[in-house]
Amino acid sequence: MSASASPHAVAWFRAPARPALEATGGGGAVRFRRVAGAVCLPLLFIDVIIGTLLVPLEDSASAAQTLAFAAASPVAMTILAWMELIGAALYIAGLLTVVGAIRGRGAWPATVLGVLGVPFGLGMAVLSVGHFAALGLVSSGISRGDAAAALDAFHAVAGPLPILFMLTPLVYLFLALAAWRGGLVPPAALGLGILFAAMTAVPGPQWLQMAAYAVGLVLTAWTAWALAAG
């Protein structure tokens, strides 16, 4: 690489000097709120990675498969349900921190991020409730067939959760876009958002899923660091 090209290459990894963030007037309380919300961004992926490694139950598992797992491993199912619920809280807290902080050129992608992201977080919470319901059905003593019918009915009433999870690639693509346009992160972080979206756009083997989570962890940690330092 020539010497004249080096500054251009470095610029891809250097954030703008003055990110377009909300003014931090209000003292320590406002800064604490921003830092706490920023930390939630990577904590979600840590939560998801640990949950995936500890509990090998797919989000797309049928009612019968979910009930069988709950009966065989009630402790693991309880851990999974709580981690999903905590993950939903972490996700929404981190998301709203980004949406509320970014101003200027990043405002419109941040707005889209909020519109797409909040339903996804609610979907995570509903998935958690479904797993708690499975635990209750298993321990209630009713027949497995009736329990499966009840869980299927719960899913039908709760709505098409898979559609909400299809928002995942778009959510983190817009997170990267908003953070880049808002001056939080350099263009290289936008590349991570595109990579994450590509890796999660279609179902794949677990190693690809874990690789996507690792990319998401790097992206959100980068964004969180910039938010906390801003």
pLDDT tens by residue, 173-227: 999 999 998 888 999 999 999 999 999 987 778 889 899 999 999 999 999 999 8
pTM confidence score: 0.81
Inform me whether the pLDDT recorded for 1 exceeds 60.
no
Per-residue pLDDT of 129-139, as tens digits, reads 889 999 999 99
CA distance 85 to 124: 7
**Which of 223, 227, 210 lies closest to 48, judged by CA?**
210
Could you tell me if 57 and 127 are in contact, meaning their C-beta atoms sit under 8 angstroms apart? no
Number of Cα atoms under 13 Å in the Cβ half of residue 28: 0
- Using 50, 70 and 90 to split pLDDT, how confident is the model at 9? low
